[in-house]
Amino acid sequence: MSEMMLNIAGVNKRFGGLQALTDVRIQIAKGQIYGLIGPNGAGKTTFFNVITGLYQPDTGTFELDGKAYSPSAPHKVAQAGIARTFQNIRLFGEMTALENVMVGRHVRTRQGVFGAIFRHGAARREEAAIRARAQELLDFVGIGQFGNRTARYLSYGDQRRLEIARALATEPRLLALDEPAAGMNATEKLALRELLVKIKDAGITILLIEHDVKLMMGLCDRISVLEYGKLIAEGVPAEIQKNQAVIEAYLGGAH
Amino acid sequence: MALLTFDTAHKPRQSYASMAVLLAVMLVFPFVASQFGNSWVRIIDMALLYIMLALGLNIVVGFAGLLDLGYIAFFAVGAYLTGLLASPQFAALLESVVNYSPAMGDALVALFGESIRTEGIHLSVWAIVPLAALVAALFGALLGAPTLKLRGDYLAIVTLGFGEIIRIFMNNLNDPINFTNGPQGINLIDPIRIFGVSLAGEAGSKATVFIGGVGIPSVNAYYFLFLLLCIVTIFMTSRLQHSRLGRAWVAIREDEIAAKAMGINTRNVKLLAFSMGASFGGVAGAMFAAFQGFVSPESFSLTESIAVLAMVVLGGIGHIPGVVMGGVLLAALPEVLRHVVEPAQQALFGKVIIEAEVLRQLLYGLAMVLIMLNRPAGLWPSPIKEDRPVAATDKDEKEEEAVAS
């Protein structure tokens, strides 16, 4: 098997009386698009929040690109090289599209108060590099012409793209997308799919939560299926499609 | 607003011209105003201090979106620091220390020299300003740290409490060791001396400062110092706003969870906002103490915190020119009313019908209500970045409604 980008095992997470995740594991090889599917309430987003540091897991081992990382705080996870988007878009609404992406560069840049006030050579160069890279990423996701638009006035599909551009700005090794196609029409989904392939070709591994099974089957290299917080299947899309447990989870079994 | 613009990113030439015009007016102002009496310049001196305060608070409330109702505490810290280190107060402090523990008193005398027994400590302005900024910044981080997980109303209540705690400390920190001289306050604070020239004027000069043989009123000398500090504050805050840190602050204001997920260490960045904001408050406080020559806890009540917050909100939250305008309006207008309203009524009706103070409060309330109703983003909000005007979308909706009906 090829080299692992993400290797997570034994994740348990309990909310009071609800066991949200039971011994969930996931192994993503470098350069793959990896899908995570499951019915509503299966624990997909919970798992996402655990690996990106928003929730603290009860147990679990976490490894990114062969190195252990601790999902103890979201900014540390971003620092380690995982960037994410959100199911319900979370942009910095009053900032422009370009500024949103520039915020994404925060974690890879270092100018502080002194640099901000005196704007010495290094600070100016860094600021120019941030701006240039942000514009590049806007162009990459296809909304380069909207740099000056206030983020919350962008169209829905463009907001999704902007969120991806912002995540890419943190130079992630793994990009985690929480239902990026939610609420999109067929044309927008097709464009999104092209964008994801483009990101994959740029060498970034992608972890994808999605409801649209059709989109997932054509796009993902491998898929895991969650139900009631447990992993019920794992494999290439063709296997998943035929898997009895998965069919029952989605359509209900014969009683 | 159309004549003056400070949108350097979009209209650089126009905004630099506006700045030059404004600066010229500000430089000439005291010489004109002092023809009508020094009190007019004094009003603007205080307004300049309030502008510094409002700009500092704007970092916390405007940029980082942390509603701070105890901001005046940092003004108090700066003022009391100056009171302690630039007046005879330290002699009183030492006396109480000696009474409490002679060994500690001897150690202090050994550290600072024998003269503090009678004269206290008299630091120069060059030491006071950075020290005030530093100590206030420290207090900013100290008071910010317990509030990191709070937002909105909860944060406002806790900071309000902290602000009051500081004031009550100032009121009671005179026993067993006399730091603040309690409710009486600290008197005889040194006026500011720059290169040996006292800005209050030498004894017997009738508050006139002589620079190179030319005499100007003391209030004018302070005016130029405060103006300089204000310009420095505006410069620093606007540079901070358009930097990596400024963007991080706004990101936290807009969506804290997304900011975290983008790798911003929100704890550190928020603490930095608290301390940067506090440091400007501290410097303003130090200037206030030296300007008045006297500080007491009364000057740092909750109403002052609210007044500074009102300047920020009224002017245009997060927008530096707006905040400056808010500061000028709310700090100067009440004083102007005081000087104009009563004489005007005397002249018109032969007696005072409405006292200036009553009218001031009436207008204050009325202004608040009207502005919140008509201009909720403040009198001079940030320019809309959107290249498609917002009004156009409203129109589209109306047209759609018209088509539908």
Do A117 and A184 belong to one domain? no
A-B C-beta contacts closer than 8 Å:
113
Tokens of A240: 């998943």
Do A128 and A193 belong to one domain? no
Give A88→chain B minimum CA distance, Å.
11
Do A97 and A202 belong to one domain? no
Share of chain B above pLDDT 90, in %: 50
A52, A54, A117: residue with CB nearest B239: A117
Do A109 and A77 belong to one domain? no
Distance CA B54, CA B249 (A): 17
Chain A residues within an 8 Å CB radius of B247 = 95, 99, 102-103, 106
Residue of B134, B174, B167 lying closest to B286 (CA atoms): B134
User: E strand or H helix at A237, and its extent?
Assistant: helix A237-242
Report cis status (omega within 30 of 0) of the bond before B343.
no
pLDDT per residue over A70-85, tens digit each?
999 999 999 999 999 9
- Domain with A143 in it: 92-171
Give residue A2's pLDDT.
65
ipTM: 0.93
B250, B263, B385: residue with CB nearest A107: B263
Contact in structure between B148 and B139 (CB atoms under 8 Å):
no
Distance CA A46, CA B325 (A): 48
Highest mean pLDDT among A48-52, B202-206, B401-405: A48-52
Do A182 and A251 belong to one domain? yes
Q: Which residues are within 8 A (CB) of B125 and not within 5 positions of it... i.e. 6 or more apart?
A: B192, B193, B194, B290
Q: Does A113 map to a domain?
A: yes
Question: Which residue ranges make up each domain of chain B?
Answer: 38-302
The DSSP result for B262-331, as a single string, is TT--HHHHHHHHHHHHHHHHHHHHHHHHHHHS-B-GGGG-HHHHHHHHHHHHHHHTT-HHHHHHHHHHHH
- State which of A171, A191, A215 marks the end of a domain: A171
Do A180 and A67 belong to one domain? yes
Q: Does A160 map to a domain?
A: yes
Q: Does A214 map to a domain?
A: yes
Do A181 and A167 belong to one domain? no
- State which of A139, A155, A171 marks the end of a domain: A171
Q: Does A58 map to a domain?
A: yes
Contact in structure between A21 and A11 (CB atoms under 8 Å):
yes
Residues B392-401, mean pLDDT to the nearest whole number? 44
Q: Does A86 map to a domain?
A: no
pLDDT per residue over A100-156, tens digit each?
999 999 999 999 999 999 999 999 999 999 999 999 999 999 999 999 999 999 999
Residue B80, SS3 per DSSP: helix
Q: Which residue has the tokens 């009313």?
A: B337
Residue of B33, B36, B59, B60 lying closest to B47 (CA atoms): B33
pLDDT per residue over B313-369, tens digit each?
988 899 999 999 999 998 888 888 888 888 888 888 888 888 877 888 888 788 888
Number of independent structural domains in chain A: 2
Burial class (CB in 10 A: 0-12, 13-18, 19+), B26: middle
Contact in structure between B67 and B159 (CB atoms under 8 Å):
yes
User: E strand or H helix at A14, and its extent?
Assistant: strand A4-15
Name the residue of chain A whose CA is nearest to B261's CA. A74
- In this structure, the number of other CB atoms found within 10 A of the CB of residue B202 comes to 12
Give residue B384's pLDDT.
67
User: Parallel, antiparallel, or unpaired for β A59-64 and A4-15?
Assistant: antiparallel
Do A182 and A166 belong to one domain? no
Do A14 and A127 belong to one domain? no
pLDDT per residue over A231-243, tens digit each?
999 999 999 988 8
What residues 25-84 of chain A have any CB closer than 8 A to a CB of chain B? 52-54, 73-75, 78-79, 83-84
Do A113 and A123 belong to one domain? yes
In terms of phi and psi (left: phi > 0; alpha: psi -120 to 50; beta: otherwise), the region of B211 is: beta
Give A1→chain B minimum CA distance, Å.
31
Do A163 and A187 belong to one domain? no
Chain A residues within an 8 Å CB radius of B259 = 92, 103
Q: Which residue has the tokens 């066991």?
A: A19
**CA distances to A116, B144, B172 from B64, in Å:** 16, 13, 33
Q: Which residues are within 8 A (CB) of A238 and not within 5 positions of it... i.e. 6 or more apart?
A: none
Distance CA A218, CA A213 (A): 9
User: Helices marked H in B184-243 — which ranges?
Assistant: 218-241
The confidence band for B203, taking pLDDT boundaries of 50, 70 and 90, is confident
Q: Does A87 map to a domain?
A: no
Do A97 and A149 belong to one domain? yes
Give residue B405's pLDDT.
45
- State which of A171, A191, A211 marks the end of a domain: A171
Q: Which residues are within 8 A (CB) of B181 and not within 5 positions of it... i.e. 6 or more apart?
A: B89, B92, B174, B187
Name the residue of chain A whose CA is nearest to B254's CA. A92
| CATH code (residue A226) | 3.40.50.300
